[in-house]
Structure 1
Amino acid sequence: MFDQIRSDFKALPLQAEPFSFKLSEMFERTILDNGLKIISKELKDTETVTVKISVSAGSKFVEPGKEGLSHLVEHMVMNGSKRYPDPLAVRRAIEELGGYINADTSKEEANYRVKVVADDLEKAVDVLFSLIDEPLLDKRELEDEKKVIYEEIARAEDKLERRLLDKFFTLLFREHPLGKRVLGYQDKLKRISTDEVREFFKNFYVPENIVVCAAGRVSHTRLVNLVNNYLGSLKRGRLRSYDEFIPLVDGPKASVLDERAQQARLLLGFPTKPQNLEAHILNMFIVQLLCSNDRLSARLRVREKLAYDVSAAYSEFSDASLVLVYGGFSYNRVRKAIKSITDELRSIKKNPIRSKEFNKVRKLFETNLIFKLETPEDWIEFALRWNLILGNPIEPENYLKELEEIEPEDIQRLAQKLFVPENSYLAVVHKDKRAGEFEELLREGLGST
């Protein structure tokens, strides 16, 4: 249950086994003359290398009425380049190396990645970089790619959790592009032309919007030389304006998805706008606290027998971040579940965390970081995550130092600002359409302590 939410948001693990951990090596960074950024992490104990191109060309940059365009562009890019003129040629070139190539689009970025044995790096990036340097964007492929995406949309719409997420994003972001689907909508996609695909690529696939990140058995010098050879001649572009989302703080707001599912589901979110690493870590600490066995799960699943599934997650956009609670419940227990959730949130606002619990959660938090840095792909995701949010990758040592500075009182102060009625947004799958009743539960449950 809630697999879609866990994949979209960063749910934190309930348990972790600590072990010693020391990081002395750093990320290396270079910015080419054309503005393209290169980040790398050399891992000498592995025989592979992963390279990822991240382009600030996600769905939030798409004009109203063209939802789905950024994802369609990603599909068209993967359809081939001048040197590899069709999707089979692209995949065959990588498969012959025993590697893999893939792409995806999020609300903020389009991502293209390849993984190969380190000795085959140059052959692999010849394929990967050609897709960015000289994509065909062939008009003849457009309608076929649209049909593939229509199937993706249909599969997504079949998933109740996806429909709940759509409801939540619409409630929170309203008409802002962050509230629209990455996949788009079939009626809008039908009207998108090849010229619009090419125009979006021209406007957003510019070097200032591109980060190339690699991890594995590759030196930074070699990576920079390869990137410069293939992408150093890309012309600078004119960065497009974008209206940043500002949280409205006009809650409590609730929206009900009227579905006859086997059980009710809810997604409760609290937007926040952290300005630095410390603020993000405080938000993530609260999520880790809620995920720990002493909080939501202990109360709603073990003691009160209210939930089939309940947890918390943290999601960051460069515009704003979200602290989320989600769960599945019997229909007749939803109101009581909301009360128990808000009671738990109020307790963090009212009572300082005990030292024993605080230290346990901090250790879980620390080991969670370690578990996320075990593979080249993990290092890339860590680097690009913080590069997107803060403008540069964060060194893990600095991350852990910030964690060490946190005190229980910091968590309490954040909870007092975060978990308030006017900052609460709730999407519910329920047979009862009366959103006002759910809003009143939030108003009462999150009111002054």
Structure 2
Amino acid sequence: MPRPRAMTPRTAPAGSGDAGTVRKTVLPGGLRVVTETLPSVRSVSFGIWARVGSRDETPALAGATHYLEHVLFKGTKRRSALEISSVIEAVGGEMNAFTTKEFTCYYARVLDSDLPLAVDVVCDMLTSSVIDPAEVEAERNVILEEIAMTDDDPGDGVHDLFAQTLLGDTPLGRPVLGTEESVGALTRDQIARFYRRHYDPTRLVVTAAGNLDHDTVVKQVRAAFERAGALGRADAAPLGPRGGDRRIRTAGAVDVQERATEQAHLILGMPGVSRHDERRWALAVLSTALGGGMSSRLFQEVRERRGLAYSVYAHTSGYADCGLFGVYAGCRPDRLGEVLEISRESLADIAAHGLPEEEVGRAIGQLAGSTVLGLEDTGALMHRLGKSEVCWGEQLSVSGLLERYRAVTPDAVREVAAEVLSHQPSVSVIGPLKDKHTAKLHRAMAR
């Protein structure tokens, strides 16, 4: 079959990374390449992002996205699994990948002189996996061990339980890893079909940050995809960011998972805002002031003044069409009721009165500083480029991020607090709860 007529790549500035220049090229077939050039470093982080996550799975495919992430390391038409890892490690580089509910990323970090090798290996993995049946079966046991490892960490597992409590048996409510039952039932053909469906160029974003030349990276990526015959239709356009308007209506739920642990692990929370909601900046400031550090309200009240827990923090999760807001604490079971009451009182107080200017200013300063410090290596910069392109379809500079945070006012925090924290909260708990502990939990939630 003749190949489509070649088309000229579209290249444009994508913004300023403050430390370097950000550029974006869209290749024929819809593949996007976004880079940030940093001449002062000697390394490059290179990644490919797929706009597919566990929320794209049916119940029968639960865990398929993460399973496929593992399988793509297991061999291509040109390389065995050992060769994929050994060629990168032989030059002192590192490779890895991660799966979330809405996207997947495969990446390598190498010396700038070894960037052509990283491009070749990662592109080869993404375009030419053989999905060998024997490797699929071998990796099944590895993933089941990973699920078991997560089950052994209730501090991590309670976040999955919290998502299930608020989102129910939906793709967003189910764990990214899947379950023992769903992973055990997945077949090689199901995984291969999932791969062919979701790994076409219109759903992929290539990102790189470090001592690089944008045009050279584009040429190398294009050559790798052309060699694999994976550029797709010349007139295809990139798939845009996810949208939607999912409503979370769960309120007042109490979800307890009995587990023989030393601590009880608690999340108290409610619906938040989506990642497209402009209120997310104010909610981030609110979350930081409430439980984002040692000076935060909850840390001071729960740990410093009362000694009720070692770990306590607030967090937000923003998806394309909804979000979650929660407060986590790990404590002895007999202290669970008191920790829950303090957390509820703190949320109610902020919902009614907002935060004083001093706390808002301190939280903004903390967010600004941590944002800049968190982008001090090429891996973090590559991650920011990819997530921005996949989730929002645009690049916001570090200066732009800081401006958004610094524009948050006490009134904006008060408004988002009144909206989000006024929802009746739900609670998820994993731990060794006796009847008396569960009774205290229900009484605290009923007040």
TM-score w.r.t. length of structure 1: 0.87
Structure 2 residue corresponding to 1:416, chosen from 415, 418, 423: 418
Preserved contact between residue 252 and residue 439 of structure 1 (Cα < 8 Å): no
Alpha-carbon distance, 1:243 to partner: 10
What letter matches 1:392 in structure 2?
Answer: E
Q: 2:232 aligns with which of 205, 230, 235?
A: 235
The runs of 5 or more residues in structure 1 that have no matched partner are 1-21, 445-449
The equivalences for 1:90-101 within 5 A come to: 90-101=84-95
Q: Which whole-Å deviations, capped at 9, do the CAs of 1:365-404 have from their partners, x for residues lacking one? A: 1101111110001112222233333232321111111122
Q: 1:279 — aligned with what?
A: 279
Change (3 A) 1:299 1:180: same
1:149 Cα deviation after fit: 1.4
Q: Is the 8 A contact 1:101 1:115 kept in 2?
A: yes
CA separation of 1:190 and 1:337: change in aligned 2, threshold 3 A: closer
Q: 1:372 — aligned with what?
A: 374
Instruction: Please state how far the C-alpha of 1:247 moved relative to its aligned partner.
Output: 3.2
Query: Match of 2:11?
Result: none
Q: Which residue identity is paired with 2:122?
A: L
- 1:204-256: CA deviations, max 9, x gaps? 0011111111100112211111122222542258979x996723223021201
Contact 1:278 1:402 in 2 (8 A): no
Question: Is the 1:59–1:70 Cα contact (8 Å) retained in structure 2?
Answer: yes
Q: Aligned in 2, Cα 1:202/1:231: closer, same or farther, shift over 3 Å?
A: same
2:203 pairs with 1:209: yes
User: Are the aligned partners of 2:350 and 2:417 in contact in 1 as well (CA < 8 Å)?
Assistant: yes
Aligned letter for 1:216? G
Q: What is the deviation of 1:24?
A: 6.2
Gap change, CA 1:96 and 1:201, over 3 Å in 2: same
C-alpha contact (below 8 Å) 2:49/2:390 kept by paired residues: no
Partners of 1:429 and 1:275 in 2: CA distance: 28
Does residue 251 (structure 1) correspond to residue 251 (structure 2)? The answer is yes
Q: Is the 1:78–1:103 contact (alpha carbons within 8 Å) kept by the matching residues of 2?
A: no
- Cα deviation, residue 199, structure 1: 0.5
Unaligned runs of 5+ in 2: 1-16
Alpha-carbon spacing, 1:185–1:172, altered in 2? closer, same or farther (3 Å): same
User: Are 1:54 and 2:54 counterparts?
Assistant: no
**2:444 aligns with one of 432, 441, 446:** 441
Q: Report the equivalent of 1:70.
A: 65
Q: Which residue of structure 1 lines up, in the alignment, with residue 339 of structure 2?
A: 337
Query: Matched residue of 1:148: which SS?
Result: helix
CA contact (8 A) 1:266 1:328 kept: yes
TM-score normalised to structure 2 length: 0.87
2:315 matched to 1:317? no
Q: Tell me: CA distance 1:250–1:135, structure 2 relative to 1, closer, same or farther (3 Å).
A: closer
> C-alpha separation between the residues in 1 aligned to 2:311 and 2:331?
8
Out of 26, 32, 53, which is 2:27 matched to?
32
- The 1:226/1:71 distance shift into structure 2, 3 A limit, reads same
Tell me, yes or no, if the aligned pair for 1:247 and 1:272 is still in contact at 8 Å.
Answer: no
Q: What residue in structure 2 maps to residue 11 of structure 1?
A: none
Q: What is the CA deviation profile of residues 315-339 of structure 1, one whole-angstrom value per residue up to 9, with x for unaligned ones?
A: 2322322222101122222222111
Q: Deviations over 1:48-76 (max 9, x none)?
A: 10101111222211111221211221222
SS of equivalent to 1:234:
coil
Query: In structure 2, the residue corresponding to 1:46 is in which secondary structure?
Result: coil
**Distance change >3 Å, CA 77–CA 397, structure 1 → 2:** same
Contact kept, 8 Å, 1:133 with 1:231, in 2: the verdict is yes
1:89 Cα shift? 1.0
C-alpha spacing 1:191/1:380, structure 2 compared with 1 (3 Å): same
Q: Which amino acid aligns with 1:441?
A: A
Q: In the alignment, is residue 134 of structure 1 matched against residue 136 of structure 2? A: no
| Identity level (%) | 25
Q: Does the C-alpha gap of structure 1 residues 352 and 198 become closer, same or farther in structure 2, counting only changes over 3 Å?
A: closer
Tell me the equivalent position of 2:213: 219
Amino acid at match of 1:397: S
Q: For residues 442 and 410 of structure 2, what CA distance do their matches in structure 1 show?
A: 30
Name the counterpart of 1:266: 266
Please name the residue that 1:45 is paired with: 40
Aligned residue pair count: 421
